[in-house]
Amino acid sequence: MPAKDVFGRAFPVILLTAVVAICVSLLTYVGSITLPRIEALEVQKIQGMLSGMFPDMSRYTFEDEIYAIYSDEVRIGYAFVAVGKGYGGAINILVGLEDEATIKRITVISHTETPGLGSRITEDLFTGQFVRLSVDDAALRRDGGQIDAITGATISSRAVADAVRITAVEKVKVLEDSEEGG
Amino acid sequence: MGKFAQEFAKGLIITNPVLVLLLGLCPALAVSTSIDNALGMTLAVLIVLLGSNIIIAAMRNFVPSITRIPIFIVIIATLVTVVNLLFHAYLPDLHETLGIYLPLVVVNCIVLGRAEAFASKNPVVRSIADALGMTVGFMLALLMISLIRQMLGTGEMSVFGVHFFSLPVLSSRPVAIFILPPGGFLVIGLLLGLFKWTGVLKR
Amino acid sequence: MNELIVIFLSMALINNFILVRYLGLCPFLGVSKELGPAVSMGIAVTFVMIIASLATWLINHYILIPFDIQYMYIIVFILVIASLVQVIELFIKKTNIALYSAFGIYLPLITTNCAVLGVTIINMMGSYTLLESLVAALGGGLGFTLVLAIMAGIREKLELADTPRAMKGAPIALITATLLGLAFFGFVGIV
């Protein structure tokens, strides 16, 4: 086959590959500029939420997916992100613990629940119930716990309560294990 | 210059992408709950449509027809990813509000449609005019819808945090349906009917 | 199991793709004029949604996340969907001509259907497991088909009704969608 013919047949593929290569390089470049900044914004956001939850916080550490909160040199609590599965998808919740058995507070970071119904999980009326709540009681009343669900939004409410409780138990175990080991 | 203006004006009314061609409805209805969102989406579409029209028009003479669609898709998807990253880093609130509809610009019928129908067959300068016209047309349609939905659905008129005025009865008892999904269908259906009736859009 | 039911019902009814999420509107207005094509399109879309969810989940978990290039998901997902649709179309054409004439022609349109890319993004952002993603795709697709079928049934009757000239076609279809959407609101509290 004449070389020109081969080139003609291969050209579409060559062009496509070249285009993909250029695009991927462009993206990697843009990514290198934006991704660190996105990450920084995330950290800022978490920091803001943590200090909102623990007003006396002076610093925090992040290990094993758990934030340990310190006021000067005294550890005043822990925090972690729990993910509940609600109607519309993931509900991200920041849970603050006073100690291994008591919740300090919770804050809903993000969700895509139904506006006007499930979205009310962000309201104080609902999240306030978790303040100083014992971890074992973080469940809906009808499930044996102490939380009143939002009327008409049982699924969203349950998703939050269960996520808080189950993740808290999980994280406490991690803490206890690391304390024993270390 | 006349040709440029002509291509540009086409996108505004005669072949308005949303109201006449019925393209790009998905994001149009989803983000038209407030003027801020509408403008934010317009910015995203502007960057992607302008970029893709320019690049595709520049490449139009040497892209073989079998690989046309894959190449268009890769280019448009790259532009959308760039916009997604830039918004996420520099306009985080807008990025969060637009949510899933920002990446969905990649399958926005307006962008692919203009690439196929126009930019692949026309010189760069005219393609720029087309992109600008279509974007402005898109913006006008979106603004019309969001103006109505925001005013009736919340009773307040505020853009980017600047509060302009509150409507007397509506601000305390807004007609929530307009902010909700069915309201979007209602507003655009009535608008389309109105335009056809007054003969602004001859269809 | 309970979670899967919630996901299914949420995708199909409560957060219906067409009436609540505004995804898949182009075929909604274009193909919902007659019942037959509407259902065919719906089934084709459901099928593609499920396969696309499978493919994108695998790619996301075994390639994108491990190599830390998740931000490239848009390009990868849409190319996967476009290729899948091509392959499916070829496959049906070669193996079952009857099936192809039934809904093979809708397949190219499905590439740009917001619902397909939409469900893959929803799966990714919700961090759904593979099973949850497939259930979500099934639910989303069936809900999409349901609404398409209902619209087609209504529009067939609308053709014979005395619609004002300005409202004929898209406008009245959109008003119908409003009413359907309002009706679907009733599903919000079912679980």
> Helix crossing, C170-184 with C130-158: angle to 10°?
130
Q: Looking at residue C113, what DSSP letter applies?
A: -
The rounded mean pLDDT for chain C is 87
How far CA A163 is from CA of A62, A82, C6, in Å, comes to 20, 6, 16
B203 pLDDT higher than 60? no
Contacts of A27 in chain C (CB under 8 A): 71-72, 75
Contacts of A44 in chain B (CB under 8 A): none
Q: How is residue C34 written in tokens? A: 């007659």
Q: Do B89 and A34 touch (CB under 8 A)?
A: yes
Q: Do B82 and A26 touch (CB under 8 A)?
A: yes
C135 pLDDT higher than 90? yes
pLDDT of residue A63: 82
* pLDDT one digit per residue (tens) for chain A, 182 residues: 677 777 777 888 888 889 999 999 999 999 999 999 998 998 888 888 888 888 888 888 888 788 888 888 888 888 998 888 777 777 889 999 988 888 998 988 888 777 667 778 888 888 889 998 888 888 888 888 888 888 878 888 888 998 999 999 988 888 888 777 54
Which range (B114-128, C101-115, C137-151, C177-191) has the least confidence? C101-115
| CA nearest to C129 within chain A | A85
Greater model confidence, A109 or B12: A109
Q: Do A88 and C71 touch (CB under 8 A)?
A: no
Whose tokens are 């009733």? That residue is: C186
- d(CA B31, CA B46) in angstroms, rounded, equals 15
Q: Looking at residue B117, what DSSP letter applies?
A: I
Q: Do C72 and B196 touch (CB under 8 A)?
A: no
A92 touches chain C (CB under 8 A): no
C36 pLDDT higher than 60? yes
The domain tally of chain B equals 1
Greater model confidence, A124 or B169: A124
Q: Number of helices (H) and strands (E) in chain A: give both, helices first.
A: 3, 5
Contacts of B25 in chain C (CB under 8 A): 22, 25-26, 29
With H, G, I as helix, E, B as strand and everything else as coil, classify residue A105. strand
Greater model confidence, A7 or C7: C7
Q: Do B106 and C74 touch (CB under 8 A)?
A: yes
C123 touches chain A (CB under 8 A): no
Which one, of B202, B48, B32, B44, lies nearest residue B131 by Cα? B48
Interface test with C, best of A24, A26, A85 (most C CBs within 10 A): A85
Q: Do B67 and A41 touch (CB under 8 A)?
A: no
For residue C164, being part of any structural domain is answered with yes
Distance from CA of B86 to the nearest CA of C (A): 12
B175 touches chain C (CB under 8 A): no
Residues in chain C: 191
C164 touches chain B (CB under 8 A): yes
| CA nearest to A11 within chain B | B64
For residue C2, being part of any structural domain is answered with no
Torsion of CA B161, B165, B170, B174, to 10 degrees: -10
For residue C191, being part of any structural domain is answered with no
User: By residue range, what is the domain housing residue B33?
Assistant: 2-197
User: By residue range, what is the domain housing residue C93?
Assistant: 9-24+31-186
Interface test with C, best of B48, B67, B104, B175 (most C CBs within 10 A): B104
Q: Looking at residue A113, what DSSP letter applies?
A: P
**Averaged pLDDT, C146-150:** 93
When pLDDT is cut at 50, 70 and 90, the band that residue B31 belongs to is: confident
| CA nearest to C4 within chain A | A85
Distance from CA of A152 to the nearest CA of C (A): 6
For residue B90, being part of any structural domain is answered with yes
pLDDT of residue B63: 83
For residue B203, being part of any structural domain is answered with no
When pLDDT is cut at 50, 70 and 90, the band that residue C49 belongs to is: very high
For residue C95, being part of any structural domain is answered with yes
A-C contacts (CB, under 8 Å):
35
pLDDT of residue B49: 93
B86 pLDDT higher than 80? yes
Q: Looking at residue B99, what DSSP letter applies?
A: G
B191 pLDDT higher than 60? yes
Greater model confidence, C190 or C8: C8
When pLDDT is cut at 50, 70 and 90, the band that residue C180 belongs to is: very high
Q: Do A37 and B89 touch (CB under 8 A)?
A: yes
Which range (B46-50, B88-92, C31-35) has the least confidence? C31-35
Range list of H helices, chain C: 2-9, 25-31, 35-59, 73-95, 97-103, 107-110, 114-125, 130-158, 170-184
Which range (A50-54, B109-113, C26-30) has the least confidence? C26-30
Distance from CA of B3 to the nearest CA of C (A): 31
pLDDT of residue C101: 76
pLDDT of residue A28: 92
Which range (B77-91, C23-37, C39-53) has the least confidence? C23-37
For residue C1, being part of any structural domain is answered with no
C23 touches chain B (CB under 8 A): yes
Instruction: State whether the Cα torsion B74-B76-B79-B83 is positive or negative.
Output: negative
- d(CA B132, CA B105) in angstroms, rounded, equals 16
For residue B202, being part of any structural domain is answered with no
pLDDT of residue A182: 44
In DSSP terms, A74 is beta-bridged to: A71
The rounded mean pLDDT for chain B is 84
The domain tally of chain C equals 1
For residue C53, being part of any structural domain is answered with yes
Give the side-chain half-sphere CA count within 13 A for C40.
17
